[in-house]
Amino acid sequence: MASSVCSALGTDKENLVGKLIAVEENHGSNGNFVLNCLIAEQIQKGGGVCLVALHNSFGHYHNIGTKLGYNLRQLQEKGRVESIEILKLLNGSLNTAHEDGSEQNILFGSEEDTVRNIFHLIEEKIKKILQNIKPVSLVIDDLSDLLCLGIPLKEVLSLLQYCRTLLDSQPGLSLVVLTHVAEGDEQQNLLTAGLCHVADMTVSICGLKTGQSSDVSGAMKVIHRRWDESAVAHEWNRQNLYHFKLLDRQVKVFAPGTASSFT
């Protein structure tokens, strides 16, 4: 179910601990499935997940999870899954301006404070979950939403950098960050480039250039970066292009041009 995506990414064979996977969701496509599949794989391997949900509520991931074969709510009760629901925090911040200075208030106060509070929340949850279980994936969906919150680009990049420091300071952690990018949006483009420059693997999702198709939902490009090997050009930036089709309970991944009618 989630395995075709994971084998295309190579995450089923590779050890992701200490690594950052960037998911670049281009406007006009939906890259959510990559996160769901990576979560599925981590659960299946017996690991834990810390989900920072900016774009959807926890129930969304839970519902998709039930179709992919796992129950996030139950896992959360058991301590294998932690979540930070930013939408809930935002909801709570509305109409509560008088409680300024509260850590949970993300709509008021300085932007740096907001981002710092979010980081402290993440750090807390990571430390908590790593006591119970290893390895753990920190999944952030979606980083560009912070820009919509009015947070300047440099603060968002700071948050990203602090999350990366966790990769060193907390052994057993891997990082998956999704960001949305539309052509012409300078902030989003800078953010995406900044993220991809420091990532060990970039998964770029976009719609088909030739228009809509009922056989293919979109294209997926997987780019691997090898920091430790000598910089032979084609090894450094190894790219693989796939097409994928989203179905109700699974995602089919195939080489471009080989889609047969699945449905």
Contact positions with other proteins (CB under 8 A) in 62-101: 62-64, 66-67, 86-88, 90-91, 94-95, 97, 100
Q: What mask of x and - would describe binding to other proteins in positions 162 to 201, judged by CB under 8 A?
A: x-xx--xx----------x-xxxxx-xxx--xx-xxx---
**Using the rule CB under 8 A, is 237 a contact of other proteins?**
yes
Rounded distance between C-alpha atoms, residue 112 and residue 71, angstroms: 35
**Using the rule CB under 8 A, is 231 a contact of other proteins?**
yes
Q: What is the CA radius of gyration of the chain?
A: 18
**Using the rule CB under 8 A, is 260 a contact of other proteins?**
no
Nearer to other proteins among residue 12 and residue 254 (C-beta): 254
Shortest separation between residue 47's beta carbon and other proteins, angstroms: 22
**Using the rule CB under 8 A, is 261 a contact of other proteins?**
no
Whether 178 contacts 34, CB under 8 Å? yes
Among 15, 131, 211, 261, binds other proteins (CB under 8 A): 211
Length of the chain: 263
Among 76, 113, 172, 206, binds other proteins (CB under 8 A): 113
Strand order across the beta sheet in which 136-141 lies:
81-85, 48-53, 136-141, 173-181, 20-26, 201-206, 218-225, 237-246, 251-254
User: 203: Cβ–Cβ under 8 A, 6 or more apart, which residues?
Assistant: 9, 21, 22, 23, 24, 31, 34, 220, 221, 222, 223
What pairing do the DSSP bridges indicate for beta strands 173-181 and 20-26? parallel
**Using the rule CB under 8 A, is 145 a contact of other proteins?**
yes
Shortest separation between residue 82's beta carbon and other proteins, angstroms: 18
Among 4, 44, 57, 102, binds other proteins (CB under 8 A): 57
